[in-house]
Amino acid sequence: MASGTGLIYNEQMMSYNLLWDYPVCSIEIPERLSASYEKLKYYGLVERCIPLSVREAIEEEIMLAHSLDYLEAVKSTASMNVEELKTFSYNYGDVYFHPNSYHCAKVSLGATLQLVDAVMLDRVRNGMALVRPPGHHSQKSEACGFCVFNNVAIAAKYAKQAYGTKRILIVDWDVHHGQGTQYAFEEDPSVLYFSWHRYEHQQFWPNLKDSDYDVVGKGSGTGFNINIPWNKVGMGNADYLAAFLYILLPMAYEFNPELILVSAGFDSAIGDPEGEMCATPECFAHLTQLLMPLANGKLCVVLECHRNYSECESCTSAILELFEESRFFIEDLSTKKRNIGIEEGNSESSAATNAEEKNITMVSKVNQDFDEFMDSHMKKVLVLAPRVRTALASCGEKLTRLDQCLQVEEKKIAMEEVGVLISGGDCAHLKDENLLLSLGKIFPLIDKITKREVRNGVVVSPMLSSGAFAARYSTTVGASRVLLLVLGEADIPTDKDDEKILVVQIYGKQDEKRQSNYYIPICWKENNEWDGDLLYTLLEFILPLAYGHRPELVILAVGSNIGIQAFTLAHLTHLLQVLAEGRILVISRASDLVETLMSSLLGDPISTMRPFALKQENALVLVKLRRELKQHWKLLQNSVN
């Protein structure tokens, strides 16, 4: 099993810069690359990564996506003088060349391919390449938008050729449309390209009709190109998450990639004067984590466009997530622009002649305020996860990963102690000795999780209803809000109007009347093969609800014989860890599931999930629920149903 996160960085890629006055390219400066690397150092991340070396890409590799004429043309820039470079650059849009550009472009591509090699050969599980120049705008015979060779497009073709990779997902979260990548694969069904981008009805660069939502691929590639053009600026965490949960991830799961390449531009983060979006850095951690259950965890994050502001923090957040060693609160789900003065430095004011200089001073002042803001923001949202990841209530089983878990002793619980937890509730359960025994295992685990001694835990309990007591108990020991997800039939004795505890219960039964916004029964028809239904429901219903609820603990209670396979539960527990900084307690009725659950809680990569389908009648149940609940739960409003 591959482990560790690779990191590629090399100062060589800083050895080119703009040699004449060319305003559209003035923001593309070498320091932007080192700034991110410095930030990673500042957070102590560099030494925790596995360093990978760079190399120059060879011509054959470049020609996987570019014409020989173009390669020769770029090659010739190495011996040009400034006048010639200028003339050459103006053949293309928003790009400049320097005598070192060709070398750097080869190193940038070579670095990307080194990362792909390391991931495909299981030398690392995942990784990030900090490269320059970027790639996603460059096309077969064209440089564009600071890009010379299309690193990610070539990486995909390279993986297909060198490793026979059959399906590759490219996620382009840069604020610009990677039209070069789109063109490279528009007829290729083996590469699914997803891009969101500032568009504003074609008013935003690169102003292409090809960037619109109705461009979905050609020929046999039809359906394998996904564009999300933002027609407004100010898109924030909620918008990005909704795009992932409702659009990208269901398709990505169905596509079932063997490798994921991220065109990671961080100009889509808050503070970027060109992007003018509002997503905060921790959002990129969540996006990263949402991709990790796919492709066996084979994730290569490749830098694209990169400026200042929060981008280094965003980059940091993403890489922290690759380690799986930290967790972030998504603090703000509002899409409104924050009032931190970033408007002053935006691109509109620089349009006026002679405003350029004024703009620069303003940007640097704003920059300083912004840095302070970002620093305190990061302190607030970044929570390093406990060293011990997974706790296990003592159980008789022989489990392979036992040595990596903390075994927690059970304690004796008196009936009175539990009785007070369910005020005015039904106490008949308490007569059951099994329940008290279960709670004796569960409560100490919750103590450990809420005290942050461990991140998550797993316990076997014959009673699903213990989940309700567990949820109640958590709120008395410090969790302000809890998500309780129950899979299977059981009477859940919880106060249905308690706004601290959001209960979602999935079972096969005739419809139950929903009486509250906090107890949501999802009643499905057939009691079998719920794998696709469950995954889909998680992405498009439960996670949007849960992001709105902002739980500080997730409790998952899993019944036995519920028509869900073990690997689906692994995906479920993996994805639920985007919530509550990864604090999750899993209560399983079946002891034979513990092995799988534990492995997922420990962060092992998960084998892919097939087949994926949502049954028609179950889809209708969701449509109905969504319609009823979207008044109350904001993120459900992003849904098209």
Using CB under 6 A, list all residues that contact ligand X5A.
24, 94, 134, 137, 145-147, 174, 176, 205, 265, 267, 304-305
Position of tokens 């092992």? 604
Q: How far is CA 577 from the centre of its chain?
A: 11
Name which of 136 and 167 has its Cβ closer to Zn ion. Answer: 136
Asked if 307 touches Zn ion (CB under 5 A), the answer is: no
- Which one, of 550, 597, 602, lies nearest residue 571 by Cα? 597
**Shortest reach from residue 3's CB to Zn ion, in Å:** 32
**Residue from 66, 137, 177, 574 carrying the catalytic annotation:** 137
In the list ligand X5A, Zn ion, none, the entry touching 578 (Cβ below 5 to 8 angstroms by class) is none
Q: Are 77 and 99 in contact (CB under 8 A)?
A: yes
In the list ligand X5A, Zn ion, none, the entry touching 143 (Cβ below 5 to 8 angstroms by class) is none
In the list Zn ion, ligand X5A, none, the entry touching 146 (Cβ below 5 to 8 angstroms by class) is ligand X5A
Is 201 one of the annotated active-site residues of the chain? no
Structure tokens belonging to residue 66: 């570019």
Q: Are 367 and 382 in contact (CB under 8 A)?
A: no
Name which of 134 and 236 has its Cβ closer to ligand X5A. Answer: 134
Name which of 265 and 273 has its Cβ closer to Zn ion. Answer: 265
Structure tokens belonging to residue 368: 């300083």
Asked if 305 touches Zn ion (CB under 5 A), the answer is: yes
**Shortest reach from residue 24's CB to ligand X5A, in Å:** 5
In the list Zn ion, ligand X5A, none, the entry touching 24 (Cβ below 5 to 8 angstroms by class) is ligand X5A
What residue number has its CB nearest to Zn ion? 305
SS3 state at 435: helix
**Shortest reach from residue 22's CB to ligand X5A, in Å:** 11
In the list Zn ion, ligand X5A, none, the entry touching 284 (Cβ below 5 to 8 angstroms by class) is none
Name which of 209 and 336 has its Cβ closer to ligand X5A. Answer: 209
**Shortest reach from residue 304's CB to ligand X5A, in Å:** 5
Residue ranges with strand state E in 545-608:
553-558, 584-588
**Shortest reach from residue 199's CB to Zn ion, in Å:** 13
Q: Kindly tell me which residue out of 6, 135, 257, 265 binds Zn ion, with binding defined by CB under 5 A.
A: 265
Name which of 186 and 304 has its Cβ closer to ligand X5A. Answer: 304
Distance CA 538, CA 505 (A): 12
Asked if 174 touches Zn ion (CB under 5 A), the answer is: yes
Q: Which helix (H) or strand (E) holds 438?
A: helix 433-450
**Burial (CB count within 10 angstroms: exposed 0-12, middle 13-18, buried 19+), residue 424:** exposed
In the list Zn ion, ligand X5A, none, the entry touching 94 (Cβ below 5 to 8 angstroms by class) is ligand X5A
Q: Is the dihedral of CA 307, 297, 120, 259 positive or negative?
A: negative
Structure tokens belonging to residue 619: 């889809």
What residue number has its CB nearest to ligand X5A? 305
Q: How far is CA 145 from the centre of its chain?
A: 25
Q: Count of residues binding Zn ion (CB under 5 A)?
A: 5
Length of the chain in terms of residues written? 641
CA angle 580, 605, 556 (to 5 degrees): 35
Binding span for Zn ion by CB under 5 A among 67-75, 259-267, 438-446, 511-519 = 259-267
Q: How far is CA 424 from CA 416, 421, 502, 524, 569, in A?
A: 13, 9, 19, 30, 34
Distance CA 276, CA 40 (A): 24
In the list Zn ion, ligand X5A, none, the entry touching 115 (Cβ below 5 to 8 angstroms by class) is none
Q: Are 315 and 303 in contact (CB under 8 A)?
A: yes
In the list ligand X5A, Zn ion, none, the entry touching 147 (Cβ below 5 to 8 angstroms by class) is ligand X5A
Distance CA 7, CA 300 (A): 10
Asked if 625 touches Zn ion (CB under 5 A), the answer is: no
Asked if 32 touches Zn ion (CB under 5 A), the answer is: no
Asked if 306 touches Zn ion (CB under 5 A), the answer is: no
How many alpha carbons fall within 13 Å on the CB side of residue 45? 29
Name which of 149 and 469 has its Cβ closer to Zn ion. Answer: 149
**Shortest reach from residue 18's CB to Zn ion, in Å:** 17
Name which of 117 and 267 has its Cβ closer to Zn ion. Answer: 267
- Residue 264 phi, psi dihedral angles, 5° rounding: -95, 85
Pattern of binders to Zn ion over 311-350, x per CB under 5 A?
----------------------------------------
SS3 state at 526: coil
**Shortest reach from residue 95's CB to ligand X5A, in Å:** 8
Position of tokens 């969504």? 626
Per DSSP, the residues of 323-364 read HT-EEE-------SPP-SSGGGGSHHHHHSTTHHHHHHHHHH
257 cis-preceded (ω within 30 degrees of 0):
no
In the list ligand X5A, Zn ion, none, the entry touching 134 (Cβ below 5 to 8 angstroms by class) is ligand X5A
Asked if 267 touches Zn ion (CB under 5 A), the answer is: yes
Q: Are 435 and 465 in contact (CB under 8 A)?
A: yes
Name which of 49 and 305 has its Cβ closer to ligand X5A. Answer: 305
**Shortest reach from residue 198's CB to ligand X5A, in Å:** 10
The residues, ordered by sequence, that sit 6+ positions from 286 with a Cβ below 8 Å of its Cβ are 237, 241, 321, 328, 330, 578
Binding span for Zn ion by CB under 5 A among 179-187, 189-197, 198-206, 300-308 = 300-308
**Shortest reach from residue 266's CB to Zn ion, in Å:** 9
Name which of 146 and 612 has its Cβ closer to Zn ion. Answer: 146
Name which of 31 and 426 has its Cβ closer to ligand X5A. Answer: 31
Identify the DSSP state of 245.
Answer: I
**Shortest reach from residue 25's CB to ligand X5A, in Å:** 8
Q: Are 20 and 82 in contact (CB under 8 A)?
A: yes
Name which of 174 and 410 has its Cβ closer to Zn ion. Answer: 174
SS3 state at 457: strand
3-state SS, one letter per residue, for 550-565: CCCEEEEEECCCCCCC
**Shortest reach from residue 140's CB to ligand X5A, in Å:** 17
Asked if 171 touches Zn ion (CB under 5 A), the answer is: no
Asked if 176 touches Zn ion (CB under 5 A), the answer is: yes
Q: Are 130 and 153 in contact (CB under 8 A)?
A: no
Catalytic residues: 137
Interacting residue ranges for Zn ion, rule: CB under 5 A: 174, 176, 265, 267, 305
